[in-house]
Structure 1
């Protein structure tokens, strides 16, 4: 079942997606994370590892004149998120792709913001992947990395350590202006936000 949360597949994967979509803390965490990105109506935003599409829906609610992109390596999650965001997909405001973070699709133009919620721990070579994400962000574009540890006994200390790891990875990847926000769930949620600096500043 743990593997299903990493890569939902088949009938068990559909159950995992349903569980993630309906768990109150998951919904609260995703809506909170999106709020921290301050998405403007005309912006182009990407979520990496969108799961059942809760944050995608919230991003689409804010980027009413822009575009919301999502990639996920699970076909089951692409299907669930597509159904949850069917109207926005039909209107071509939301674009969901079955893809891995190490094979980013072409987004055409630079993005304004990127979100990843509880997915970075599964990325191969996360510093290299974050550098590639910087490559698709405009100068001054924002990124939000969210972690709510799910290991047994996780507490505020576990979340603090997770936040420090996220800060370290972002710094090594060349991001700047880092700040950390906390959401008081059990265990707490950390969101580390950063900016893609202008060329030549890193």
Structure 2
């Protein structure tokens, strides 16, 4: 059991910020694991016209590729803290990168390296757990959104009928109050599909 603790810590770090050759493996593993939540989240975006989309924690770029298939999407940017998975994202979306309809960037949600009011939609899938959920972070999401834009943050809050009280508390007692305080409108939680026994929710709001 003692030996398993360092191993679990290392695996958790790979999920947070994949690195090295094994980081490429973890990036692709997450693509397969998170397909149900990814497709559901893209549906929630309700992509309609002349959309400019930002994904926070884009990983290996699967969601970017799926969003770019939508006829009303003009441009998609992906942000991640891992250079390893960004290599995969660039490879997966190389044609769109060449055409200028996609961009992938190294960076952190607390200091997004993009201009004010650049995006109609901002979303993330399973990256919120690793954020410093603060007024600075929520303000950054608000800053890069265009007026009437929306943010959609997808996570799991439990498994096999059990609610993770830590995650639920973070959402209800920290994230949502900060979003309302920052100026987000119609902030709500939407229940999503069960994936591998995990309970999926999305926290959404508009500018």
Tell me what 2:179 maps to.
170
Normalised by the length of structure 2, the TM-score is 0.83
Gaps of 5+ in 1: 197-202
Q: Superposed, which structure 2 residues align to 1:187-198 within 5 Å?
A: 187-196=198-207
The structure where strand makes up a greater share of residues is 2
Select 1:7's aligned residue among 6, 17, 20.
17
Partner of 2:93: 85
- RMSD across aligned C-alpha pairs, in angstroms? 2.2
Q: Please report how far the alpha carbon of residue 194 of structure 1 lies from its aligned counterpart in structure 2 after TM superposition.
A: 0.5
Say which of 175, 179, 188 aligns to 2:188. 179
Cα deviation code 1:94-139 (max 9, x no counterpart) = 1111111122113475311100111122222433211122111112
Question: How far 1:46 moved relative to its partner?
Answer: 0.5
Counterpart CA distance in 2 for 1:188 and 1:63 is 30
SS in 1 for 2:163: helix
1:116 is matched with 124
Deviates most, 55-64 or 91-100:
55-64
TM-score normalised by length of structure 1 = 0.85
Cα pair distance change 1:39/1:107, threshold 3 Å: farther
Give unpaired runs (5+ residues) of structure 2: 1-10
Q: Which has more radius of gyration?
A: 2
What is the alpha-carbon distance in structure 1 between the residues aligned to residue 137 and residue 91 of structure 2? 28
Aligned positions of 1:30-179 closer than 5 A: 30-62=38-70, 64-107=72-115, 110-149=118-157, 155=161, 157-158=163-164, 161=168, 163-165=171-173, 166-179=175-188
Alpha-carbon distance change, 141 to 156 in structure 1, aligned in 2, over 3 angstroms: farther
State how far apart, in whole Å, the 2-side matches of 1:57 and 1:80 are. Answer: 12
CA deviation profile, 1:33-87 (whole Å, cap 9, x unmatched): 0110112241111001011112111221126551101110100111111111122
Q: Quick check: 1:115–1:143 contact (8 Å CA) kept in 2?
A: yes
The 3 A distance-change label for structure 1 pair 108 and 184 is closer
Q: How far apart, in 1, do the equivalents of 2:188 and 2:95 lie?
A: 34
Mapped partners of 2:24, 2:37: distance in 1: 21
